[in-house]
Chain A
Amino acid sequence: MMRGLDWRLALRLALRDLRGGLAGFRILILCLALGVGAIAAVGMLRSAIEGGLSDQGAIILGGDAQMNFTYRFASDPEKAWMAAHARKVSEVVEFRSMAVTADDRTLTQVKAVDDAWPLLGVAGLDQGTVAAALGIQNGLPGALMERVLADRLGLKVGDTFKLGLQSFRLGAILTKEPDSATAGLGFGPRTVVRTADLAQSGLIGPGTLFETDYRLILPPGADLDAMKAEAETAFGDKGMRWSDRRHAAVGVEKFVERLGSFLILVGLAGLAVGGVGVASAVRAFMETRMATIATLKVLGAEGRLVMGIYLVQVGLIAGLGVAIGLALGAAVPVLAGSLIASLLPFPAQFGLYPAPLLQAAFYGLVTGMLFALWPLSQAVRQGAASLYRGAAARVWPRLAHLGAMAGLLGLFVGGAVWFSGSAMLALGTLGGVFAALAVLALAGFGLRVLARWLARRRFVDGRPGVRLALAAIGGPRSEALAVVLSLGLGLSVLAVVGQIDANFRASIARDLPSRAPSFFFIDIQDAELQPFLAGLKANPAVSKVENAPMLRGLMTKINGRKARDVVGDHWVVTGDRGITFADTPPPGTQITAGAWWPKDYTGPAQVSFAATEAAEMHLKLGDKLTLNILGRDIDATITSFRKVDFSGAGMGFVMALDPAAVAGAPHTSIATVYATPEAEAAILRDTSKAYPNVTAISVKEAIARAVEALGTIATATVLAAGAVLVTGVVVLIGGAAAGVRARMQEAAVLKVLGATRLRILASFALRSALTGAAAGLVAILAGGIGGWAVLRLVMDLPYRFEPVSAGLIVLGGMGATLLAGLIFALLPISVRPAQVLRGSE
């Protein structure tokens, strides 16, 4: 396309055109800088959060890697393997228990540690050292507690309390737990003790629910992938679970995953918004060059020379704008970093990340070239006379140029896919953006038709302000389409982000089960089960009691193949699950396929599986599952599917086994109790006095914990949404700035004809309001569809249209644009007409 072009001549002419100073290019540079800055800033935020998660990964995890077991300590071969591979090993036991004082008791998540804890990071205490606080004084072992827990129990440092049968002295208040990720979405606040001190507590034994984590410090340069594979091959089918610093946040995996997708989406949203800024800036700039292009043609310049000159020029100016934008993008997170970090519930690492800067530069230049090429190519095909006259460009660009644009577009899409690291998300988002642009183009076209129709109505007669506004929208050289496109896309992106954000937060309130039980009781021993249930059932405040025996186990294989290989990361196989057993279907069971085993069945093990999960995992009747329960493998055949509701906080087991399959395995029972809220305190007091080893979990507290976890995501989304919002508004303001020149001309002519400033301003406002309304309507639609797609398809969360968020965001965006438009109109209407009119003589 550029063959035979004298590039030196093009460069010389381009530079000569620039020599008059950068005044005429200020708006272009500003808009480019804002667009690129938006992309860079959002990218930097994303990197900061990701960097924080990976940098802190090892500390959150408590080691470079961790091997986790359910119900048991590591076996000798497992310990030997760890000793052979790690430089240091630390053992941590986790379980739930009741912390008991003379007159109070409450649930706590106990972390029992060895002398090596914490392997990484530092535990924050209100006084003394870990060793002193946990050490034995006057025969009493020490413990650390979170402040909330100590306060709830009315404990001060030095006071005593009991875990099971063992008394402890509160040695210090735990202000910061370095390896907090393992708490995950656990229940209840934290108590830390030494494992050795629990020997007499009666809390850790066969059948009780506990987990052990072995934290490993690995030699430098250890190959995490290879070690993971080796450990999983050796111990994976014995219930060992591996995690390492790359995916530290055990138990918050889903959260990190959702946040990760959300951050990618935010990056792409920033790209869309910034891209719009760059595009409209270059387009507006090219329009100001048309007369010069015409003159060049008159003077004998060929199309390719014209192309060369302006591509060089756009390249040079874009380079400058991109550089400023990068500085902006780099400065914003550095300056606002500490503020943002204080809002985030997890560590973010702010700094200069080169990758997002390079990406922003790439996007800025590609977008700039893409949007310069189109009007240039049109100009090259058009006669000089029609260029002078500013006639609407109706010609199509040349085929070769269309090819080049397609190439640039491909580069852009490819870049988005490559940089985001998720082809699905990137293509989905860009697909959504293009769909939104198509709808917006329709809306812009419709608006122009409407404006032309309205202009012919009688009510316009005698209203020059209205006429001017309608003419500006419906007439030739209208900016309406471009404004609807850029404003509409910006608002759409904001609306989608707003929908996601609002849904996250609404889901916290909405998804709380309304018919949740008051308590879960766990660790009920067989011998005490009947009196325990009888006592509760006798209580008139109790409306319902459900109970089931429970063991925990990990599904390791499906039909002899590794379960993870068959169903990937389905939640049923990612960790140990509660498994129940029963010889007859529990009351209310709905069998959807197959049949329950006969009473007193003793043949090969059978399992009844939750229907919905089975369908997700493509399980069929007759499939064979290998379950690791307490280190023993059980091969069970699926003989029925049944309906299980996991949505409420009631009892739900994915798998139910026939009793003979687990005969002799130590187990406990779990019970859910539904009672009136007023009776809850008494029930807790009575049951825990009578059955000290039974752990009660208040569902309210569990829900509060879940709310906290969801709140974390909500904070992150608010923050990310805020970033997109701010950059979006800035880009919209840039768009308003781009129209200053045209406004000036209009205002000058209207003043010659006797119009006052107020009248001119009102007309500009009406125009903005009309285009804004068209853009806003589309944005609300896009917000609904986009929000649904992201939440349902990407985040796997329920979606409901949030009209308040959509309305506020769209109105706010329109308001900001209107305001920006008016502010940028103040200059045009206050300039003396002579200056403007003379400039265009």
Chain B
Amino acid sequence: MRELEPGGSCHLRGAWSSGVITQAPTAVPSRSSIGSARSTVCGSHKPDHLEVTRVSTMFSSSQLDGLTPSQFPNSTPSPARLSRNTQGLVPATVKMISEASQSGDEKSNFIVDGVDVANVTAVGMAFNKNSRPSDIRFQLDDGTGRIECIRWITEKIDTREMDALEDGTYVRVNGHLQSYQGKKQLSAFSVRLVTNFDEVTCHFIECIHFHLQNSKAQSQGAALASQKADSSFSTPVRGASSGHQPALPNDFSMQYNSDGLKSFDKMVLNYLQQPSNIDREMGVHVDELSQQLKVPVAKIKDAIEFLEREGLVYSSIDDYHYKAVEGL
């Protein structure tokens, strides 16, 4: 029987945290590259960048860049929120906004798809424009719902921007997501007419992209948290009847993981970590792993080799039987 090497567990911790990073999705394009991203996805569309310069003087560029958890190696993923740092301008449908919960911290941001969101970009039709001396309000209807938008009037440029707005016209609104008297609304810092309608298609695709990136990261965060919870439970539960299963569904990790080897290793590890298998003194034969997980023995052996190096499993009665290390 191999002993767990002291170096093994440190390496394990490094492996898990780096595992989260390398498996995190690619970064959301920063504000400056959104234009080029759009032109490749959506043909000849070139968005009007007039408001970008104004926005970037109001906000530091780091706020505008789409920052993802992958760029913060020290942030600890939790099931609820992956990054303490607020995302930049998040593309969202009104439906997604309506489902956002309040983050409850001092920043009074919202959480969309597990991510802290302060500013949102939305595309839809404007209705019920209402001009007052201090502000201009309208409802933005993007086909998934309606949200109130407020454009505060401080300069002449603000009114001019809004003059062009007529009922039923397509606009892009960039604004700060807020809650007022229980209702969500957008405090718009930019309202721009849509002139090339590929932008409409593009926006909804960006919403989908944002959602997929963050639910992928979220499922890995949840997987990590549930794995940690499992290993802390396995010792006291030993010997008792085990209704307790690892919370990580196997096909989840296979579906969302970009690094196939790591997620497969997790599958093997999960199988070995099941309390019923932990209880087996002789361990689990690689043939059984191969049958149960429906993969060739060679692949099982590769995974076992990796897991053994990481100090997560060890061979029991012979080189074909393995058990998961407990108490990690």
- Answer whether A and B are interacting partners: no
**Which A residues have a C-beta under 8 Å from some C-beta of B?**
none
